[in-house]
């Protein structure tokens, strides 16, 4: 391969993330790429919500919401807390909030 700008190529190579990071980021983006999961994450940006409320907001069954939330928890996008028998979900941290907001802002432009 011919390199015309070796310094620029080296900067790009130095900026590449390691393989583990690339694989985890790719898996994360694949999870978010689902419309139902993006709706759930968007709803959770407003604050803690229980499964039944998320079902109303997204228009899918509580069972389907629970299934999607399990996947989102497995990928460290949401967390939960219990109050008696009710489980409330929320976004895990500000990184998730920023990621969702950035994706939606980009789509709106």
* CATH number for the domain that contains residue 93: 1.10.10.10
Q: Crossing angle for the helix pair 51-58 and 35-44, nearest 10 degrees?
A: 120
Is residue 62 domain-resident? yes
The two structure tokens encoding residue 21: 């990071």
Is residue 61 domain-resident? yes
Burial status of residue 60 (CB atoms within 10 A of its CB: 0-12, 13-18, 19 or more):
middle
pLDDT band at 2; cut points 50, 70, 90 = confident
| Largest Cα span, the chain | 65
Give the DSSP H/E element, type plus range, for residue 80.
Answer: strand 78-83
Is residue 24 domain-resident? yes
Decide the pairing of beta strands 49-50 and 78-83.
Answer: unpaired
Is residue 54 domain-resident? yes
Range of the domain at 78: 6-108
Is residue 1 domain-resident? no
- Report the domain count for the chain: 1
Is residue 66 domain-resident? yes
Q: What is the pTM of this model?
A: 0.87
- Sheet containing 49-50, strands listed edge to edge, beginning at the edge strand earlier in sequence: 49-50, 86-91, 78-83
Predicted confidence at residue 1, as pLDDT, reads 80
Predicted confidence at residue 50, as pLDDT, reads 97
């Amino acid at each position: 391969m011919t390199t015309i700008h070796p310094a620029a190529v080296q900067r790009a190579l130095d900026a590449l993330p390691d393989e583990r990071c690339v694989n985890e980021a790719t898996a994360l983006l694949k999870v978010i790429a689902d419309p139902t999961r993006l709706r759930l994450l968007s709803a959770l940006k407003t604050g803690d919500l229980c499964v039944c409320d998320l079902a109303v907001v997204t228009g899918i069954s509580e069972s389907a919401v629970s299934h999607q939330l399990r996947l989102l928890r497995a990928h460290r996008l949401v967390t939960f807390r219990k109050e008696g028998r009710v489980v409330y979900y929320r976004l895990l941290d500000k990184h998730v909030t920023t990621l969702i907001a950035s994706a939606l802002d980009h789509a709106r432009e």
